[in-house]
């Protein structure tokens, strides 16, 4: 099975971020930012990065995501938006964040919030929610 590479949120910052942006839905994810899915075991990890939460998307039906700027852009190389799946409602899946962002975009927040992003790899079949 292919892997996913990207960045995990720094666990020391996560609690403060969740306090600053209380999750709208009961299943709290707030785990990572995907760079590439379906990569092989030899594909290199990205460099450590400082991202910025720059916006929020919520479809009102169970998917909440934070738009993230990484290295000056919110555009992932695959054409989607860098994001953190923040929270989910019953029956919703993290991968749906991509569709929500593509369909409705996101609402900018007043001031970007820095987040430390740590390079990581995880199995695609058991990827954390928010791939």
Average pLDDT, the chain: 92
**What percent of the chain lies above the pLDDT cut of 90?**
83
Residue-wise pLDDT for 11-48, tens only, equals 999 999 999 999 999 999 999 999 999 999 889 999 99
pLDDT of residue 130: 41
The rounded distance, in Å, linking the Cα atoms of 125 and 128 is 9
Give the CA count within 13 Å in the CB-facing half-sphere of 107.
6
pTM over 0.85: yes
Amino acid 125: pLDDT? 53
β-pairing, 63-70 vs 83-88, is: antiparallel
């Amino acid at each position: 099975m292919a892997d996913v590479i990207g960045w995990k949120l720094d666990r020391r910052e996560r609690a403060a971020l969740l306090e600053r942006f209380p999750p709208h839905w009961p299943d709290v994810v707030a785990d990572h930012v995907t760079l590439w899915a379906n990569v092989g075991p030899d594909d290199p990890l990205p460099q450590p990065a400082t991202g910025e939460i720059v916006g929020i998307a919520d479809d009102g039906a169970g998917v909440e995501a934070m738009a993230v700027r990484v290295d000056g852009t919110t555009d992932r190389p695959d054409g989607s938006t860098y994001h953190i799946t923040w929270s989910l409602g019953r029956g919703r899946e993290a991968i749906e964040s991509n569709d929500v962002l593509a369909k409705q975009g996101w609402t900018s927040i007043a001031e970007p919030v820095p987040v430390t992003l740590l390079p990581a790899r995880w199995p695609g079949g058991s990827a954390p929610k928010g791939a």
